[in-house]
């Protein structure tokens, strides 16, 4: 029996579902009970998220993630001193999230977070062997214009109030001035969070499946799979992958429910693997029908992205659905090793049924800088 067909442990299954959503942002899930949709709290009454600390906000905090996101990717002008630029941006983020910046135009910050990353070109300038110095390779099913590939600076802005996103982006870009030049931006939103298991919830995506059921949720898992332990200038940071994808929604919606489930390898209504059980059950990849067919098809997303087969770790995702320029997904994953992403997507690239419904139109990777405070500015120790 091959490794792919072996009966995986629960730990392997957790990794599988994490990698499943991580590389495409689309995780098969369960049809959970409807969540009561009361009127959302006003931004003025929403608890604020501290901008300072060991890690930047907007990765694991807040939980659950805010419903609105704007990602801005920019280049840094040649000859610019990166250290002072990042320190200025960090101070601006602190003022904006504290509600102390007049550029908020009177809007309460609520749960606003800004997460800043630097691209491989800048990381290589600081040290060619540092985490985050490697560019993403090219994959199939990409239709990417030159200015939508790569970039020097990521501004990930998240908030409960969608009005904050362009206001904060304008403030930060004005702070940077002619030292940066915007490449592209993309806004997105999350559906209501659905309870998955105790302490874990996830939103539903445009294909009707829950997105991001499993990831490194515990402190131990985050130390192992999410946060960089070193070297010292990057400790407490992480590696982000950002990919904008178009979804062939009409073609997927035209499939029968059974065919949609075959794409994912899971039941749409219950979230159970096609091999049986509940949403929490291990997918039995070796299970077959009486006539010898695999219950989980050979090209099903769950099988192709199984980390026990790929040899990849867990990723934390903040994926958001989009409707402009076309229905799709802004996929953002965080991991402490870029190979976690690249190995999984390379394994999926050949025969994952789900990828046939996606086209990637923008892609980049960034070193998400460690957290900062008044004594240690953003980017300190890495750039001067």
> Which of 33, 17, 78 is CA-nearest to residue 213?
17
pLDDT at 128: 97
CB under 8 Å to 2, separation ≥6 — which residues? none
Distance of alpha carbon 268 from alpha carbon 281, whole angstroms: 15
Per-residue pLDDT for the chain (384 aa), expressed as one digit of tens each? 433 343 444 344 334 344 344 344 443 333 333 434 445 566 667 899 999 999 999 999 998 999 999 999 999 999 999 999 999 999 999 999 999 999 999 999 999 999 999 999 999 999 999 999 999 999 999 999 999 999 999 999 999 999 999 999 999 999 999 999 999 999 999 988 877 777 778 788 898 887 877 689 889 999 999 999 999 999 999 999 999 999 999 999 999 999 999 998 888 877 778 898 777 677 788 999 999 999 999 999 888 887 777 889 999 989 999 998 889 999 999 999 999 999 989 999 979 999 999 999 999 999 999 999 999 999 999 998
Distance of alpha carbon 304 from alpha carbon 288, whole angstroms: 17
pLDDT at 10: 39
Any idea what DSSP says for residue 149? Answer: B
Listed in order, strand segments (DSSP E) in 65-192 are 68-76, 113-118, 153-159, 180-189
Residue 130 vs residues 39, 115, 235: alpha-carbon distances, Å: 46, 20, 11
Distance of alpha carbon 192 from alpha carbon 98, whole angstroms: 26
């Amino acid at each position: 029996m091959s490794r792919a067909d072996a009966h995986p442990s629960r730990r392997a299954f957790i990794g599988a579902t994490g990698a499943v959503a991580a590389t495409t942002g689309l995780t098969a899930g369960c049809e959970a009970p409807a969540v009561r949709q009361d009127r959302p709290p006003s931004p003025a009454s929403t608890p604020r998220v501290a901008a300072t600390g060991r890690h930047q906000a907007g990765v694991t905090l807040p939980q659950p993630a805010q419903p609105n996101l704007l990602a801005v990717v920019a280049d840094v002008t040649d000859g610019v001193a990166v250290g002072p630029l990042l320190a200025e941006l960090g101070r601006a983020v602190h003022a904006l999230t504290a509600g102390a910046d007049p550029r908020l135009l009177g809007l309460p910050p609520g749960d606003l977070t800004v997460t800043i990353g630097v691209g491989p070109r800048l990381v290589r300038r600081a040290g060619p062997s540092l985490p985050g110095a490697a560019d993403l390779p090219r994959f199939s099913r990409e239709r990417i214009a030159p200015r939508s590939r790569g970039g020097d600076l990521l501004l990930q802005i998240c908030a409960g109030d969608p009005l904050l996103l362009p206001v904060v982006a304008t403030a930060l870009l004005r702070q940077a001035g002619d030292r940066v030049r915007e490449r592209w931006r993309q806004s997105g939103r999350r559906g209501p969070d659905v309870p998955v298991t105790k302490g874990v919830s996830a939103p539903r995506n445009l294909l009707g499946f829950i997105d991001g059921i499993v990831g490194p949720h515990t402190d131990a898992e985050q130390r192992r799979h999410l946060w960089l332990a070193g070297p010292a200038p990057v400790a407490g940071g992480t590696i982000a992958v950002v990919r904008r994808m178009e979804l062939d929604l009409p073609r997927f919606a035209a499939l029968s429910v059974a065919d949609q489930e075959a794409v994912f390898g899971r039941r749409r209504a219950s979230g159970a693997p096609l091999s049986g059980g509940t949403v929490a059950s291990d997918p039995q990849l070796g299970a077959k029908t009486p006539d010898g067919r695999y219950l989980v098809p050979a090209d099903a997303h769950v099988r192709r992205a199984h980390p026990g087969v790929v040899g990849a770790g867990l990723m934390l995702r903040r994926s958001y659905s989009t409707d402009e320029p076309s229905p799709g997904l802004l996929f953002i994953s965080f991991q402490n090793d870029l190979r976690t992403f690249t190995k999984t997507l390379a394994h999926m690239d050949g025969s994952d049924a789900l990828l046939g419904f996606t086209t990637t139109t923008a892609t980049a990777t960034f070193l998400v800088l460690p957290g900062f405070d008044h004594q240690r500015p953003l980017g300190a120790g890495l750039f001067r």
